[in-house]
Structure 1
Amino acid sequence: MPTALGAITGMELRDIEIFLTLAEELHFGRTAERLHVSQARVSQSIKKQERHVGAALFERTSRAVRLTTIGTRLHGDLRQAYELIRTGLATASGTAQGTHGALRLGVIGAMGNEIRPLTEAFTARHPSCSVEVAEFHFGDPFAALRADDVDLQVMWLPVREKDLTHGPVVRTEGRALAVPEASDLALRRTVSLEDLAGRLTPDPGPETWLREMFPTTTPNGHPIRRGPRARTCHELLALVAAGQVVSPVNAHFGRYYAYPGVVFRPIHDAPPTEWSLVWRTDRETPLIRTFARLTQAHPH
C-alpha cells in the first residue's frame, strides 16, 4: 500500500499547494479562483498526484468533493511540511533582504536609550527583526566589534580604523565638562575649551579615537595635561569626584549620571559630537545595510 509520506517526494510545490487548497475548499472552481489558475490546471494536478500515489485522493460526485482515507492522511502530512517549507523560504528571503534576524548593536553607556526611537522604528518596520543592545567601554572600544560579539556599534566620529566602515550619523549633540563640585569651573554657567589649559584630564591611552574627546592642546595651542587613565564611565566619574581630573564628556552624559561631587557644565565652543554606525567592512550583512538605510531617513 503506498504511504502518504512517500507521496511527498516527486511532487512540485505548486502541486502541493493545489492539493492543500482543494482539501480546504472541496470545490475545484473555488480552488482555481483562490490560486489564480484554471480549473483544468487544478484537475490535471490532482490527477498527476493520484497517479504518483497510486490511489484516489478525492471522491468526486456531481454534488460534492470529499477526501478519501489516503487523501486525508496525505493532507495531514503535507500541511505541516508545507508550512515548514513556507516558513523556511520566508526566513531565507528575509535574511537575504535584511528584514529578518537579530541585530547585535554595541553602545557606550546610555547611548542605547538615546537612539531608542531609531531601534523601535526599525523593529516596527521589520517585525521579524530584533535589536540586541550590548554595552562596550571606551577603554577598549573596538574589541567587541573585532571579536564578532556585535554586528555594529554606535561611536562618535571620526573613526579612522582601516578595517572598519562608518555609516550614517544617528545622533548629533554638544559637549560638557565634568568638574569637581569644589572647582572654580563649577561656579560658571558654561566653560570654554581654553579653560582646559594646564588642567589634568583623563589619559585616553593609545586609542586615537579617544583623543578626539580628550585633546592634548586647546584651540589656541595651550597644552592640556594628562592625569590618571579611565577605562569606563564610572572610573572617569570617580576621578572627577576625587578632584584628580576634569573631563570632557558628551552632553547626554550629564542627564544620566548624577554622581556625588561631580558637576556638568556645557562647553560653549566645543565642536558637536556626531555619533555614527560603525561595522567591520568584511562582515557587512544585508541586515546591517537595512538598519543603516533606515537611519538615513530617520531624524536625529
Structure 2
Amino acid sequence: MERREIEIFLTVGEELHFGRSAERLHVSVAMVSKTVQKLERSVGAALFERTSRRVAFTAIGRRLFEEVKPAYQELLDAFARAVASGRGVDGVLRVGFLGTATAQFVMRAAELLQTRHPGCEVRLHESRFGDGTAVLRDDVIDVLLVDTFAVPVSTLAPGHSAGPVLFREAPLLAVSARHPLARREAVDVGELARYEVLRPQAPVRPAARTSAPEQVAGGPALGQAARRAAPGGAELLFAPAPAHSSLAPGRAPGSRGVARSTEFGSIQELWALVGGGHGVYPVPSHARVYDARPDVAFVPLKGAPAYAWHLVWLSAAENNRIRAFSEAACDYVAAHPDPLTGSA
C-alpha cells in the first residue's frame, strides 16, 4: 500500500462516505472509488459494503482498518518528531571538548544559546586526547570543539563539516621544570627531533569501525596527512629522535628512562609524564594559565602553527541546534576578545 492509498482507505473508514472522504482529501470521488477497488483487488476480498444509501465495513475491512490506523499514526508521529528535531532548536545538544579552558568556553557559548532558545538543553562531554572525531561517528556527541593542529580541516574524513575558526592561540612547549629547555626563552620547532615528544593514544574501537590514522586526531603520529598539512615545519613535532642520541638531550636531570613514544590518554596523564621528565609536548597558550603546576614549564614554540579552534560535526547529522550553537559560539567570540577568560 502506498501512502496515498492508506490515507484514502483510513479516511473512508472514518467517514464511511465516499463524498465526504473526497472532500477531506481534496480529490475526486472517482479517485476514492478507484483506490478502494484497487485495494480490494490486492486483498482479494471486499473491504466495504456499498449501497446507494450507506457504506459499511466488511469484517475483513474493519480488521484491516483497526490494525493499519495505529501503525500509520505511529509512522506520522515518528516523522513529525524527526522534522521537529531537524528543523527546530528545542531538544538536547551534546557538545564535546578537551581541556579545562575549552570547557569554560563551551559552557559560555551554551549559556548564550540557551538565553536565545530556552528549550535547548546542552550536555557537555569531555573527550580524551586520542578520541578525535570518533566520538562523532560513534554518536557520543553531536558537535566537537577541536583545534586545527590536532584535527586539520583539510584532513577531515568525508562526511564531516567544520565551522569557522573561533579563536587562535600561540603554541607553547610543555617540558619538565628540570628539563634543560625550561631555561630557554624559546624553542624552535626544528629542535624537537632531538627530544622525545609524547603521543596521544589512538582510540580503542571495534576493528570494523577503526579509522585510518589520517582520520583520527592524535593517533600514533597525528596521521601522515595531518603532519603534511601543518605549516611552518610542524611535521617535525613528531619526528623520532636520532637513534644514536639515546634521548640524552631530552631527559631531565635524574629522570628515569622510559620506552620511546610514550603515550598518554588524558590531560592528567600528559602532565604527569611531562612533569616526570618522560617527554615534551606542544600545547596551546592557555595551558600556562589553566594547567599551571610546579613541575611543568611552558616555553614559546617558534615555527609551529597556531592552534586554531573550530567546531566539527557530521554533515548528515547537521540540524538547527548545531547551527544555532555555532552561531552562539561565533557571537560570543565577537563580543569577547579573550573568549577563554570571558574578557570583553
Decide: shared fold, TM above 0.5: yes
Paired position in structure 2 for 1:250:
284
Secondary structure at the aligned position of 2:165 is classed as: strand
Measure, in 2, the Cα distance between the counterparts of 1:262 and 1:215: 26
Report the CA distance between 1:221 and its aligned residue.
Answer: 7.9
Q: Which has the larger displacement, 255-264 or 214-223?
A: 214-223
Instruction: Give the alignment of 1:9-48 within 5 angstroms.
Output: none
Report the CA distance between 1:152 and its aligned residue.
Answer: 0.8
Measure, in 1, the Cα distance between the counterparts of 2:234 and 2:324: 43
Paired position in structure 2 for 1:133:
124
**Percent identity (aligned):** 31
Equivalent of 1:173 in 164, 169, 175: 169
Paired position in structure 2 for 1:102:
92
Gaps of 5+ in 2: 1-80, 203-212, 242-259, 340-344
Cα RMSD, aligned residues only: 3.3
Measure, in 2, the Cα distance between the counterparts of 1:168 and 1:101: 24
Paired position in structure 2 for 1:274:
308
Query: How big is each residue's C-alpha offset from its partner over 1:127-180, in whole Å with a ceiling of 9 and x where there is no partner?
Result: 222221110101222332222121111111214222321122223211111101
Report the CA distance between 1:234 and its aligned residue.
Answer: 1.5
Measure, in 1, the Cα distance between the counterparts of 2:103 and 2:146: 11
Measure, in 2, the Cα distance between the counterparts of 1:280 and 1:96: 14
Does 1:124 pair with 2:115? yes
Report the CA distance between 1:120 and its aligned residue.
Answer: 2.0
Query: How big is each residue's C-alpha offset from its partner over 1:13-47, in whole Å with a ceiling of 9 and x where there is no partner?
Result: xxxxxxxxxxxxxxxxxxxxxxxxxxxxxxxxxxx
Paired position in structure 2 for 1:192:
188
Q: Give, as a single letter, the amino acid of the residue that structure 1 aligns with 2:296.
A: V
Report the CA distance between 1:220 and its aligned residue.
Answer: 9.3
Query: How big is each residue's C-alpha offset from its partner over 1:257-295, in whole Å with a ceiling of 9 and x where there is no partner?
Result: 233421112224322111111111221122112222333
Instruction: Give the alignment of 1:154-233 within 5 angstroms.
Output: 154-157=145-148, 158-159=152-153, 160-204=156-200, 207-208=213-214, 209-210=217-218, 211=221, 219=233, 223-225=239-241, 227-233=261-267
Report the CA distance between 1:186 and its aligned residue.
Answer: 0.7
Number of residue equivalences: 213
Measure, in 2, the Cα distance between the counterparts of 1:131 and 1:278: 16
Paired position in structure 1 for 2:327:
293
Equivalent of 1:142 in 128, 133, 138: 133
Instruction: Give the alignment of 1:48-127 within 5 angstroms.
Output: 95=85, 97-110=87-100, 111-127=102-118
TM-score w.r.t. length of structure 2: 0.54
Measure, in 1, the Cα distance between the counterparts of 2:326 and 2:164: 6
Q: Does structure 2 retain, via aligned residues, the 8 Å contact 1:227–1:244? A: no
Report the CA distance between 1:224 and its aligned residue.
Answer: 4.2
Q: Give, as a single letter, the amino acid of the residue that structure 2 aligns with 1:262.
A: V
Paired position in structure 2 for 1:32:
none
Gaps of 5+ in 1: 1-90
Q: Give, as a single letter, the amino acid of the residue that structure 2 aligns with 1:114.
A: F
Aligned pair in 2 of structure 1 residues 212, 267: CA closer, same or farther (>3 Å)? farther
Paired position in structure 1 for 2:254:
none
Report the CA distance between 1:212 and its aligned residue.
Answer: 5.8
Q: Does structure 1 retain, via aligned residues, the 8 Å contact 2:109–2:325? A: no
Measure, in 2, the Cα distance between the counterparts of 1:255 and 1:98: 38
Q: Does structure 1 retain, via aligned residues, the 8 Å contact 2:198–2:262? A: yes
TM-score w.r.t. length of structure 1: 0.61
Equivalent of 1:265 in 274, 290, 299: 299
